[in-house]
Amino acid sequence: MIHVKNLSHSYNKDDKYQVKDISFEVKKGEVFGFLGPSGAGKSTVQNILTGLLQLQEGEAVVADYDIKNISKDMFNKIGMSFEQSNVYSKLTAKENLDFYSKLFDVPTVDSKELLSLVGLEGKENIKAGEFSKGMKHRLTFARSMINNPELWFLDEPTTGLDPAIAADIKDIIKRKNAKGVTIFLTTHNMFIADELCDRVAFIVDGEIKLIDSPENLKLQYGEKLVEVNYIEDNEVKAETFSTILPEDKKALQTLIEKHNIQTMHTKEATLEEIFIKVTGRGLV
């Protein structure tokens, strides 16, 4: 669904590039995470792929359309949910969606159905300017689904939302993906990326450092440890063992045989820990 080759971009059109010679592909039906701290180049790439920024150097094909010659038909196939809500404050929630639906040449989803889906039922006739930040974000998210996109660009889809609503948004994303929707997820939230993405790309200072699945990254960079809580002398004690070192494996077996085990679980590196290890940078 997305093919990018040797993409570079400079806002001042000089030798100071915000995106530097990056290449990647997003397969049909995949959830692809584009991960990095603020200023890494995530939004720049996303804006180029959605036609908001002009392609300067390299090649990009989105939903089978060459970005160098963007066709109106491409926008019938893609949806975009921005991190910063850009709704019309003087229009009601329903009016916002009804207006947007008229921009497409394909069948659109009923606005009330979408508002209900994102937890805004009963708010149809309230002006968007009266909404809280989180409600505006949900309205923006609902709007991105109105044309039943085949390729869905999501920029920090759960930012500013309480945990319950964020969980609902993630469930919607999973359901859409299960129906075959390809998703390009831009975020610095490694937890949502770990939960939703088939593959992730780490981008720092405009360069992609690696691309792989969260599972493979954890296997490659994880410490492969087991943490055991057990009873000894009527006290709960804890020890950590390597699952690779022979002496640790032997000691773990002895502990299991001699003591009452309360809990035992593997210690897995988080995506954030792996990101820092690979890039040497945090996510702030």
Per residue in 175-232, pLDDT (tens digit) is 999 999 999 999 988 899 999 999 999 999 999 999 999 999 988 877 778 889 999 9
- pLDDT at position 178: 97
d(CA 74, CA 89): 27
Mean pLDDT of 95-118: 96
Contacts of residue 39, defined as CB under 8 A and 6 or more positions apart, other chains included, come to none
Q: Is pLDDT of 282 > 80?
A: no
- pLDDT at position 116: 96
d(CA 78, CA 204): 26
Mean pLDDT of 131-136: 93
Nearest to 58 by CA among 28, 34, 24: 24
For residues 155 and 86, is the Cβ–Cβ distance under 8 A? no
- pLDDT at position 283: 61
Q: Packing angle between helix 133-143 and helix 93-101, nearest 10 degrees?
A: 20
pLDDT tens profile 1-26: 999 999 999 999 898 999 999 999 99
For residues 253 and 246, is the Cβ–Cβ distance under 8 A? no
Nearest to 151 by CA among 24, 61, 62: 62
- pLDDT at position 100: 96
- pLDDT at position 270: 83
The one-letter code for the residue type at 66 is: D
pLDDT tens profile 238-279: 998 888 788 888 999 999 999 999 999 887 778 888 888 888
d(CA 134, CA 46): 22
pLDDT tens profile 22-60: 999 999 999 999 999 888 999 999 999 999 999 999 999
